[in-house]
Amino acid sequence: MDRRTASDNSGRSAELKAPARRRLLGAATILLLPVIPRVAMAAKLLAVRTWPAEDYTRVTLELDSELRAEHFTLENPHRMVVDIQGMEMNPALNDLVRKVRPDDPYISSLRVAQNRANVIRIVFDLKQAIAPQVFTLKPVGDYKFRLVLDLYPKVAQDPLTALLKKMPQKKLDEDPLARVLNDISNNPKGTGMTAMPVIPNSVAPATGPSSPGKSPTPLGRRRMVTIALDAGHGGEDPGAIGKGGTREKDVVLAIAQKLKARIDATPGMRAYLTRDGDYFVPLHVRVEKARRVKADLFVSIHADAFPRPTAGGSSVYVLSERGASSTAAKWLAEKENSADLIGGINIQTQNQQVAKILLDLSTSAQIKDSTQLASNMLDQLRNVYRLHKPQVENAGFAVLRAPDMPSILVETAFISNPTEEQMLRSAQTQDRFAVAMHTGIQQFFRANPHLASTG
């Protein structure tokens, strides 16, 4: 090999090795760059809300990302401490302090502070011992991630006891059994009780005015009947919202309260509200509450919504054994059955077996009685406003699956219809719906005296 050839080969070898050297130098440069630790971004607090009620108080923190929280309780005095990871102090947390209401049954006050890096501590000063539930919810509907703090009483009050405590003496005098139960609840250990009152085989004749203050219409000799009134939605779940901002949960609670006043003014009848304020009640708990107070009827009250704003009119639904009676009915039932997701149920602690038993025991006899009640109700509602459909509709509403009482769901009007939204805001119209439903209930018991017979 001559010198020129050797020189050429050497040059080509150097050219081939150059890219490799450049790659190696580049890699070395990358390795020599300083390693910058990644700093976790603190979650952004979007909103804080409180929902105080006799049943329980709920506190909700809505954030843009999911968080973890740890909690524990203390005694003497009663407190709950919650450590939220992934948060820094934020002016919005001051809103939580301001949202504590003086009449909250559980929270006296609260304090918020930075406990340590990336951890916020909330200390709740409590009015009584609690059994808390703390859980997170994934984004659903208009909500992002939610951290939910539910403060339940350590000893929950029985719904029947609560009902009796709120009954006026006049009503207790009408119902001898209620008097006995009320005495027992007020004297759990028998203190001050000398003898058990004798319960007669019949009570005074029950009557039913169509509105408070009017002369009563005889209904025959009956025991006290209990009507469970279920105002749909509540708390975190506003239900449907009209174009003008009217919330379904507010309208239906107002109607339920007006209907309760009329039922309570009817001798031989009393009403029980599954929700008497603005707070969330899971669907199966609504059914369970009605059963605990030995309700004879269950009436769930709603204000319909539909994608088409021209849809309108009143409707009455009963549970379907074979599917929905229309596409719209199926769509509505699916929407209403999603209330637990919107309202925020603690799935981890929900007793799925008990819920399944409550929701799967409906009978043909119950559906038959429910259909008759719905027909009576529909006949009365047509006097208030036009009907969406002239017949009772069927759909798989979870809240109607009580096995031992006639149950119906009343859609008073379409809140998604601007004209009907305005109508639903009117106290006079709300009262007219209450009168119609009250009359429908009375007609049902006149046609079915055996369901309200003395025992």
Residues 112 and 175 both lie in one domain:
no
- Same domain flag for 304 and 327: yes
Note whether 183 and 252 are same-domain residues.
Answer: no
Q: Are residue 147 and residue 162 in the same domain, yes or no?
A: no
Are 241 and 364 contained in the same domain?
A: yes
The neighbour count for residue 12, using CB atoms within 10 Å, is 10
Q: Between these two residues, 411 and 171, which has the higher pLDDT value?
A: 411
Give the Cα separation of 74 and 453 in Å (integer). 51
Last residue of a domain, one of 144, 167, 200: 200
Task: Give tens-digit pLDDT for 280-300.
Answer: 999 989 999 999 999 999 999
Q: What's 399's DSSP letter? A: G
Residues with Cβ within 8 Å of 281's Cβ and at least 6 positions away in sequence, in order, are 55, 234, 235, 274, 275, 289, 343
Environment class of residue 297 by beta-carbon count within 10 Å: exposed (0-12), middle (13-18) or buried (19+)? Answer: buried
Residue 293 and residue 368: Cα distance in Å, rounded?
A: 22
User: Quick one: 342 and 214 in the same domain?
Assistant: yes
Tell me which amino acid residue 2 is.
D
**Domain co-membership, 93 together with 188:** no
238 CB-near residues (< 8 Å, 6+ apart): 247, 248, 249
Question: Could you tell me if residue 406 is inside a domain?
Answer: yes
Please calculate the CA angle 350-353-358 and round it to the nearest 5 degrees. 95
For 92-118, the pLDDT digits (tens) are 888 899 999 999 999 999 999 999 989
Per the domain annotation, does 39 fall within a domain? Answer: no
How much is the average pLDDT of 113-134?
Answer: 94
**One domain, residues 242 and 183:** no
Residue 40's CB: how many other CB atoms inside 10 A?
A: 9
Same domain membership, residue 258 and residue 143:
no
Q: How many domains does the chain fold into?
A: 3
Tell me the per-residue pLDDT of 297-325, one tens digit each, with 9 for 90 and over. 999 999 988 888 888 999 999 988 666 66
Higher pLDDT, 27 or 77: 77
Both 209 and 333 in one domain: the answer is: yes
Q: What is the mean pLDDT of the chain?
A: 80
pTM (two decimals):
0.78
Give yes or no for a contact between 297 and 406, defined as CB atoms under 8 angstroms apart.
yes
Beta bridge mates, 301: 231, 410
Dist. CA 251–CA 415, nearest whole Å = 9
In the chain, the amino acid numbered 91 is: P
Give the domain-ending residue among 138, 153, 168.
Answer: 153
Strands lying side by side in the sheet with 107-116: 68-74, 79-85, 119-126, 107-116
pLDDT greater than 70 at residue 327: no
Helix 159-166 to helix 176-186 angle (10° resolution) is: 110
Cα–Cα–Cα angle for 51, 435, 443, rounded to 5 degrees: 115
Is 4 part of a structural domain of the chain? no
The reply to whether 291 and 233 lie within a common domain is yes
Q: Which domain holds residue 339?
A: 204-452
Q: What is the pLDDT of residue 339?
A: 84
- Asked whether the predicted pLDDT for residue 14 surpasses 80, the reply is no
What's residue 400's pLDDT? 87
Cβ atoms < 10 Å from Cβ of 79: 17
Residue 72 included in any domain: yes
Q: Does residue 263 sit in the same domain as residue 114?
A: no
CATH number for the domain spanning 68: value is 2.60.40.3500
Residue 3 located in a structural domain? no
